[in-house]
Amino acid sequence: MDDRAALHIFVLTLQCNQGCTYCQASSRDKHAESCTMSKEVLKRSVEFMFQSPAHVLTMEFQGGEPSLHPELVRYGIEVAENLRKQQSRDIRYVLCTNCVDVNDDLLSLCKEFNVLISTSLDGPEWLHNRNRGKADSYQKVVAGIKKAREVLGNNAVSALQTTSVMALDHPIGIVDEYVRMGFHDMFLRALNPYGLAANNDDWSQYTDRFVEFYKKAFEHILELNRQGISFVEDFATIILRKILTPFDSGFVDLQSPAGIVNSVLVYNYDGNVYTSDEGRMLAEHGDYTFCLGNVFDQYEDIVYGPKVQQLAQVWSAETLAGCFDCAWRPYCGADPVRNHSTQGDVYGFRPSSLLCRKNKTIITYLVSLIIERYDEVMPIFKNWLQ
Ligand code: SF4
């Protein structure tokens, strides 16, 4: 069955009410109204999504800050619901929001359509506020998470952590903040060299420091689990599922063929369609390499068009020098967008790829844990994979 493109990201607006130091979404001031999707483009984008053959669709609202335009969230869902009923398809909705402005109306919309909330929390109050560039951001986010949990239930609210340069020295405090906030899992996430984040420090040094940060945080998470606190690290779980089971979690960034186009399509506020959110972010800085066309074009011309055919030659790790004979290939993935943005060519060169270095080091670390500390870690990992 052709099950491609299950995840569809709708960038409703670039407007945002925060000013994060590491912003990867190329957000703009909240008054930048020209960077907001029209209803006409939104309707056409939803219709475009429904041409994807995937039986279960995920419609994800992103920005900028999509909660600044609740009318568009509602309209997008209403159009999708009509098509879903006509075509007997399954769909799940995700609202990616910083939770700063979640109000009763927005939450009742989420309740009505089972919309999951994906927010971001960077760690303790001082760190979160400094990353966000606002003195009261943490307070507002925590209040927003609490409110969303009350209306939607705990399981409907998840949070993503992003490891800024400032965060690298605080692995324990960041994990503890997630535990304190009542989360049962976290994704220890490195910065990506896209958007405004590309202006950050030396990426080679950042990568090595991130891996050290990851290991310290991970050891702390293992210790919490040994103490009886069930707490999951999501990136490791994605890799462990590949290593220890016959299944794959479908995580877009660790797939071969790559997740771009195969698992995800992105609709920008102006109707342009991109291979992935990272491809869209490059375009915000003038690089349209991964723009596939516009929602007013034919679906086939976009997802089977010449650009995708070219990318298909470099999106399988099995055919890439460096990857094809790498021991970790079954657990890793191909990423032509990252290769292009960091190395200037979609094929990439593994010996100097920082993404390869990070993946290789973390996979090696997880495998060494299984080999050297089997009795200690396997009960925890099995629990995570249930
Ligand atoms: S670890 Fe590096 S060489 Fe190995 S599959 Fe991943 S990207 Fe390719």
What is the residue-averaged pLDDT of the chain?
91
Is-contact 59 26, C-beta < 8 A?
no
Report whether pLDDT(195) > 80.
Answer: no
Q: What is the pLDDT of residue 244?
A: 97
Task: Report the phi/psi class of residue 144: left, alpha or beta, with left for phi > 0 and alpha for psi in -120 to 50.
Answer: alpha
Q: What are phi and psi of 299, to 5 degrees?
A: -55, -45
Strands 56-62 and 7-11, bridge-based pairing: parallel
Is-contact 162 120, C-beta < 8 A?
yes
Q: How far is CA 60 from CA 9, 92, 96, 170, 378, in A?
A: 5, 8, 7, 31, 34
Contacts 24+ apart (CB under 8 A), 338-347: 338/192, 338/193, 338/278, 339/314, 340/282, 340/289, 340/290, 341/193, 341/194, 341/198, 341/278, 341/282, 341/287, 342/193, 342/203, 346/289, 346/311, 346/314, 347/314, 347/320
Please give the number of the atom of ligand 1 that sits closest to the Cα of 360.
1
Q: Show the tokens assigned to 168.
A: 């690298």
What spacing in Å lies between the alpha carbon of 171 and ligand 1's midpoint? 26
Which residues are CB-contacts of 339 (< 8 A; sequence separation ≥ 6)? 314, 345, 346, 347, 348, 349, 353
Q: How far is CA 288 from CA 252, 260, 311, 357, in A?
A: 21, 15, 14, 27
pLDDT band at 261 (very low <50, low <70, confident <90, very high): very high
| DSSP letter assigned to residue 346 | S
Report whether residue 350 contacts ligand 1, using a CB cutoff of 6 Å.
yes
Closest CA to 181 of 142, 222, 132: 142
Q: What's the CA gap between 290 and 281, in Å, rounded?
A: 10
What spacing in Å lies between the alpha carbon of 350 and ligand 1's midpoint? 7
pLDDT band at 3 (very low <50, low <70, confident <90, very high): low
Place of tokens 């509602």: 74
pLDDT band at 169 (very low <50, low <70, confident <90, very high): very high
Place of tokens 């896209």: 194
Is-contact 239 331, C-beta < 8 A?
yes
Q: Show the tokens assigned to 113.
A: 């359509």
Please give the number of the atom of ligand 1 that sits closest to the Cα of 332.
6
| DSSP letter assigned to residue 161 | -
Atom 1 in ligand 1: residue holding the nearest Cα: 360
pLDDT in tens, 19-62: 666 555 555 565 566 789 999 999 999 999 999 999 899 999 99
Q: What is the pLDDT of residue 183?
A: 96
Lowest mean per-residue pLDDT among 34-38, 256-260, 296-300, 361-365? 34-38
pLDDT in tens, 84-122: 999 999 999 999 998 888 889 999 999 999 999 999 999
Q: What is the pLDDT of residue 196?
A: 43
Q: Show the tokens assigned to 128.
A: 């979160």
Report whether pLDDT(74) > 60.
Answer: yes
Please give the number of the atom of ligand 1 that sits closest to the Cα of 355.
7
Q: How far is CA 150 from CA 108, 229, 289, in A?
A: 11, 23, 43
Please give the number of the atom of ligand 1 that sits closest to the Cα of 323.
8
Is-contact 276 266, C-beta < 8 A?
yes
Please give the number of the atom of ligand 1 that sits closest to the Cα of 320.
8
Mean pLDDT, to the nearest integer, of 195-213? 77
Q: Show the tokens assigned to 284.
A: 């915000």
Q: Show the tokens assigned to 90.
A: 């399954």
Question: How many CB atoms neighbour CB 96 within 10 A?
Answer: 22
pLDDT band at 220 (very low <50, low <70, confident <90, very high): very high
Using DSSP's 3-state secondary structure scheme, residue 269 falls into coil
Q: Is the peptide bond before 379 cis (omega within 30 degrees of 0)?
A: no
pLDDT band at 16 (very low <50, low <70, confident <90, very high): confident
Which residues are CB-contacts of 344 (< 8 A; sequence separation ≥ 6)? none
pLDDT in tens, 292-313: 999 999 999 999 999 999 999 9
Mutate to test the pocket of ligand 1, among 324, 359, 361, 366 (most ligand atoms within 8 A of CB): 359
Mean pLDDT, to the nearest integer, of 213-231? 97
Atom 8 in ligand 1: residue holding the nearest Cα: 323
Mean pLDDT, to the nearest integer, of 261-290? 94
Q: What's the CA gap between 45 and 186, in Å, rounded?
A: 31
Strand partners, 335: none
